[in-house]
Amino acid sequence: MGLGLPDRDPRDGPAARVGPFLLPEHRDPSGERIDLTSAVLSLAAMLTLVYGVKHVAVGDLSAPSIGVLTVGLALGWAFIARQTRLRAPLLDLGLFRRPGFSGALVVNLAGFFLAFGTLLFLAQHLQLVLGMGTFEAGLWTLFSAAGFVAGSLLAPSLLRWIPPSSVMASSLAVAAAGFALLAASLWWGSFASLMAATFLFSIGLAPVFALSADLIVGAAPESKAGSAAAIAETSSELGGALGIALLGSVVAAVYRSRVPALLPDAATNTAPALQDGISNAFAQLATFPAQQAEVIRAAIVQAYVDSFATVAVLSALIALAVALAAGSLRRAATD
C-alpha cells in the first residue's frame, strides 16, 4: 500500500484456512425467521411502560399518563400471549418453567437493575452536589470499577470451594451491606465512606454478573442454549433500563416531596419552580438574591441527598431479597 507491496487480504492467511476445520459454521436446519410483530410489541410495551411509570412517579396522574401506562400493560400482555401461539417464539416462555433458569434470570436482572441505577445517581451526586467536574468525577468512579474487576477475578476462585448459588447469595449480601453504607455515607456527609461503599457494592455485584449467565445457559436444555443466552443478555439490558427508569422515578418522587419541607418559610412559594430535578433547580438559583440563593441551594442539595439515600436503602433491601432467592437456586437445580 504505497510501498510497492501487493495488498494482502487477511482472509488469505493461515487462520482463514484452518478456522473452518476447527470452528465449522453451524446453522439450525429448523431455524425460523424472527417474528417482527413480536419485536415491535416488545419495544412498544417497554417504551410506553417506562414513560407511564416515570410520569406517574412524579405525581402526573393525568389521563394521558395513566392511558399510556395502561396501553403499555396491554401491549406487554399481547406480547406474552403471542409468544404462546408461535411455533418459534421470540421469547421461549417454556424455559421459565425451569426453576433454576428463572431464578438465575431474576438474579441477573436484579444485579443490573441495582448497578445501573445507583451508578447513575452516584455520578450526579459527585458533579451536582459535590461540585466536581466531569473528569474528576470520572476518576472517583474508579473505586467502583476496581470493585467490579476485583469481584470478577475473585468469583472463579471461590467456585473451587463454594457452589455458584452460594457465591451469588453471599456476594449479594456484601452488595446489600455496600448499599446500606452508601445511604449512611450520604447522610453523614463522609466522602471516604462514600467511596468505600461504592467499592463494596461493586465487588458484591461483580460475581453476580460473572456467574448468572453460566447458570442461565446451564439450566436450559442443550437445544435451547442459544435462546437461553439471548434471554440472559436481554435481561441484562432490561435490568439496567428498568434500574434507571424505576429508581430514577423514586429519586424524583422523594426529591419533589422533600423540597417544600426543606425550604425556609420565606421561600416556600418558590417550591414548584425547584421541584423539577436538581439540575433545573440549580439553574433557577440565579433568579434569587445571593443570600437567599445559598439557603435555597442547601435545601435543594439536602433534598437530593435524601432521595439518593432512600434509593440506597431500597437497593439494600432488594439485594437482600435477591440474595435469599439466589440461595434457593441450588435447591431448585436439584429438584
Q: pLDDT tens digits for the chain (335 residues)?
A: 444 444 555 555 555 566 666 666 655 555 556 768 878 888 888 888 888 877 776 667 778 888 888 888 898 888 888 877 777 776 776 667 776 777 788 888 888 899 888 988 898 899 888 888 889 988 998 998 999 898 888 877 887 888 877 888 888 999 999 999 999 999 888 899 999 999 999 999 988 887 877 777 776 767 676 777 777 787 888 888 888 888 888 888 888 888 777 776 655 666 666 767 777 777 777 777 777 778 788 888 888 899 999 999 999 999 998 888 776 655 544 44
22, exposed or middle or buried, with CB in 10 Å at 0-12, 13-18, 19+? exposed
C-alpha dist (Å) from residue 4 to 1, 7, 12, 309: 7, 9, 19, 65
**Phi/psi-derived region of residue 90, left when phi > 0, alpha when psi is between -120 and 50, beta in every other case:** alpha
Distance CA 104, CA 219 (A): 9
Distance CA 212, CA 101 (A): 9
Cell numbers for 6:
501487493
Distance CA 299, CA 288 (A): 14
Q: What is the pTM of this model?
A: 0.77
Distance CA 263, CA 303 (A): 10
C-alpha dist (Å) from residue 246 to 85, 249, 263, 279, 280: 31, 5, 26, 19, 20
Amino acid letter at 175?
Answer: A
Q: What is the pLDDT at residue 12?
A: 56
Q: What is the pLDDT at residue 11?
A: 52
Residue whose cell numbers read 434457593: 328
Distance CA 159, CA 137 (A): 35
First-to-last alpha carbon distance for the chain, in angstroms, is: 63
Cell numbers for 205:
455485584
DSSP 8-state symbol, 7: P
Angle between helices 191-219 and 290-327 (to 10 degrees): 30
Amino acid letter at 297?
Answer: R
**Whats the size of the chain, residue-wise?**
335
DSSP 8-state symbol, 72: H
